[in-house]
Amino acid sequence: MKLLNNRCPAASSTFALCALLFVLCGSVHAQQPGKIFRVAYLDPSTVSGSATLLETFRQELRKLGWIEGKNLVFEYRFAELKPERVAELAAELVRLKVDLIVTSGVPPALEAKKATSTIPIVMLNVGDPVGLGLVASLGRPGGNITGFDGLSFELNTKRLEILKDAVPKLDRVGLLRGSSYNPGVELQLKEIRIAASALKIELEEIKTQVDPQSLETAFKTAKQKQVKAIMTTATRNFFAERKQIVELATKHRLPATYTSKAYVDEGGLMFYGADYDDQYRNAAHYVDKILKGAKPADLPVQQATKFEFIINLKAAKQIDLTVPNRVLERSTHVIR
């Protein structure tokens, strides 16, 4: 009995020491920095052209606890309006073994999907992702890609209708389109041609490079073809040059309806479409879920549900356009 009593203090001391070491080890482990995730962003346009949307995206990530340099780093890749670079940049990001790729526009989404079947992809600014072969279905995308359908293709029809209502006796519209092949643009053109025919509008398709000199030439061509209004296809490249496009439309006194609110922010006449800021905020939540373990295949592709119709009467005054009251009454916001 005494022997047992003599050993108990030693056993207790040993247990206490082990417990202390366990606590200390656990404390050291808890203080070790966690994994820093690498999130890539692939865009066919320019840094300046994407700045406002990217800041919206980063702000929302910060609200969700993702702090750059602490638990997250970004790998930005911009093709600088050179479509041929998109595939090369997508492959580069895959070689870097990033944890997730966010893509903006159709070509980046397609090239990222070609480059990897394992790295999660969140796509933005894409219309008809099923028709493009990006996902199997909206509800069950399958594979490694999910994201957001801005309905940009379908909304082009509505934009053409708005132009018809806003511009008296509109019978000819100039449509600016990129000069290089883009499967997303081809789908848009199909929809717009059908809509133009139904509205009895002659569509003048004007191919152009997206640089200042080429855009100037494109607008001169539009005037030569005696168009009474102008549109662009919904692409990131046109979005990046929105300031000049708006200035040229004003200079040539051409009413225009645009694919993003940012055009109106630059002084453009009208915008009808999805709220892109809202889409980028929602994308941050998908990134958050995936980095925490969710699989893209289980996250449905979300279609835009929030739409805006903005009319800038200051821009209308500059080109001597009187917007009918019936059109103003349908708007969600009027800039006076």
Domain boundaries, the chain: 37-150+276-303, 152-274+307-335
Q: Report the alpha-carbon distance of residue 28 to residue 19 in Å, rounded.
A: 14
Q: What is the pLDDT of residue 28?
A: 36
- The fraction of the chain above a pLDDT of 90, given in percent, is 74
Q: What is the pLDDT of residue 33?
A: 54
Q: What is the pLDDT of residues 24-54, one digit of tens each?
A: 343 333 333 589 999 999 999 999 888 999 9
Q: What is the pTM of this model?
A: 0.80
Main-chain dihedrals φ then ψ at residue 146, nearest 5 degrees: -150, -175
Which CATH code fits 152-274+307-335?
A: 3.40.50.2300
Which CATH code fits 37-150+276-303?
A: 3.40.50.2300
Task: Answer yes or no: same fold for 37-150+276-303 and 152-274+307-335.
Answer: yes
Q: What is the pLDDT of residues 86-114, one digit of tens each?
A: 999 999 999 999 999 999 999 999 999 99
Please list the residues that pair with 204 across neighbouring strands. Answer: 174
Q: How confident is the model at residue 304 (pLDDT cuts 50, 70, 90)?
A: confident
